[in-house]
Structure 1
C-alpha cells in the first residue's frame, strides 16, 4: 500500500472545496434568488432553503468564504491522509 502525501491531499481537498464554493457563487449570481432557492432545494432533497439564502453578500465576504472553505477542506484532506497513513503503520 502506498502512503498518502498529507500536504498534497490537503491541497486537493482544499481546491475542491474552494471550487464548490465558487460554483455556489456562480449559481447565485446567474440564477437569482428564486432560481437559487429552487436549485438548492432540489440539491438538498427538498430541504427548504428560502429562509437561509441571502443574496446581499459582499465581495470581501465571498473572498473570505473561499479562503475559509479552502482551509477547512485542506484540514479535512490532511486528516484523512494522516489517519490513512497511521492505519498503514499499524498493519
Structure 2
C-alpha cells in the first residue's frame, strides 16, 4: 500500500512537470486554475525550477506517499485484527 501510494504521488508529480514543460507558463496557469476549481495559481506558478530541486521534490513526494500509504495499511490491519478478535 505504501509503495503504491508513493509511486502514484511520484507519477502525479511527474505529470505536473510534463504539463509545465509542454504547456508553458500561461497554459500551466490555465490548467491548474481549472483543476483547482478556479483558484488563481498565477502568483505561485514558478517556471524556473532547477533540475535538482525537481529531483528532490519527486523523491520527497514518493516518501510522503509511502508513509501515508503505510499508515493507512497499518491502521486498517489493526482494525481487522480487533474486529476478528471480537468475532471469535
TM-score, length-normalised on structure 2? 0.93
Uncovered stretches (5+) of structure 2, i.e. residues with no partner:
84-88
Report how many residues are paired. Answer: 83
5 Å-filtered alignment, 1:1-91, equals: 9-91=1-83
Q: Partners in 2 of 1:18 and 1:63 — Cα distance?
A: 10
Uncovered stretches (5+) of structure 1, i.e. residues with no partner:
1-8
Cα RMSD (Å): 0.4
Q: Partners in 1 of 2:81 and 2:27 — Cα distance?
A: 49
TM-score, length-normalised on structure 1? 0.90
1:44 is displaced (CA, Å) by 0.3
Secondary structure at the aligned position of 1:57 is classed as coil
> After the TM superposition, which parts of structure 1 deviate over 2 Å for at least 4 consecutive aligned residues?
none
Q: Partners in 2 of 1:50 and 1:87 — Cα distance?
A: 44
